[in-house]
Amino acid sequence: MTRPYDRLKESPQTDVDIAQMAPDERILARQIQIRGTVGVTGTNSVGTFSGVHYLAGDEQAAARLFVEKNKKALSKIDFSRRDPVSTSVDREVYDWILHYLGERELEKYDTVVIERRSDGTVWCIGRRTFEETPMRRYTESGSGSARIDDGGLIGLYELCSELITESELRAKPMIAGDTREILDAFRQSPEFVCEPTVVDGELAVQKQEV
């Protein structure tokens, strides 16, 4: 194995020469490189970014290093609009960049992903929806995603009765979308002590004493 490849196996890097790697090694090499993009206005464009090289499968660590090296440039971007980062990297890398910037905090569990945003909004998204159909993550109709506007997931849990059903969640004005994903988040997150159950054909969770 070449020295550049060995370095990338250790961790993502900002200063490796991919051209020195063997052909079979270069197949596994990836890069976070931000470029100017059609459709991004000048007011949402920034200066030069330091690129990051990494090996396939090391996206999370690469995103963390990218944020560390580019905090100043990233701080100038309005992530609520189409931006040069989102149009330059894969969706998974973009998610982790936002995570390490504090724009979004991701918690991934077996079948659900909890996404906490800096404005206090929380999304509970089925993991298959999150990973396989990213353009449908934030859909409030149909199945696969639910949004909580006020109080977040913890506030909602405390507001609910000891037996939390789909019907009770649907009646809450701060919730939109598929309430089953919220029940799944309660069941899988270590923040909550509860057990799954079924009530009149509906999914539910029963709070347990700590």
Per-residue confidence (pLDDT) for residue 151, from 0 to 100? 84
pTM above 0.85, yes or no: no
CB atoms within 10 A of CB 148: 25
SS3 content of the chain, % helix, strand, coil (to 5): 35, 20, 40
Lowest mean pLDDT among 18-22, 46-50, 72-76, 195-199: 46-50
- For the chain, the first-to-last Cα distance in angstroms comes to 52
Per-residue confidence (pLDDT) for residue 136, from 0 to 100? 87
3-state secondary structure of 7: helix
Q: Is 39 exposed, middle or buried (0-12, 13-18, 19+ CB in 10 A)?
A: exposed
pLDDT digits (tens, 9 = 90+) for 39-95: 443 433 445 899 999 999 999 999 999 999 999 999 988 887 778 998 899 988 999
b/e map 41-52, b = 16+ CB within 10 Å: eeebebeebebb
- Distance (Å, rounded) from C-alpha 87 to C-alpha 37? 7
Average pLDDT over residues 178-196: 97
Per-residue confidence (pLDDT) for residue 36, from 0 to 100? 58
Per-residue confidence (pLDDT) for residue 13, from 0 to 100? 96
Per-residue confidence (pLDDT) for residue 124, from 0 to 100? 97
On whether the CB atoms of residues 125 and 115 are closer than 8 A, the answer is: yes
Q: Is residue 26 predicted with pLDDT exceeding 80?
A: yes
Per-residue confidence (pLDDT) for residue 194, from 0 to 100? 97
Average pLDDT over residues 24-30: 96
Per-residue confidence (pLDDT) for residue 47, from 0 to 100? 56
Alpha helix (H) ranges present in the chain?
Answer: 3-10, 23-26, 59-69, 71-74, 91-101, 127-132, 152-159, 166-170, 179-188
Average pLDDT over residues 169-182: 96
- Bridge partner list, 108: 113
Average pLDDT over residues 182-188: 98
| CA 2 from centroid of its chain's CA atoms | 33
Per-residue confidence (pLDDT) for residue 168, from 0 to 100? 96
pLDDT digits (tens, 9 = 90+) for 108-165: 999 999 999 888 899 999 999 998 888 889 888 888 999 999 888 999 999 999 999 9
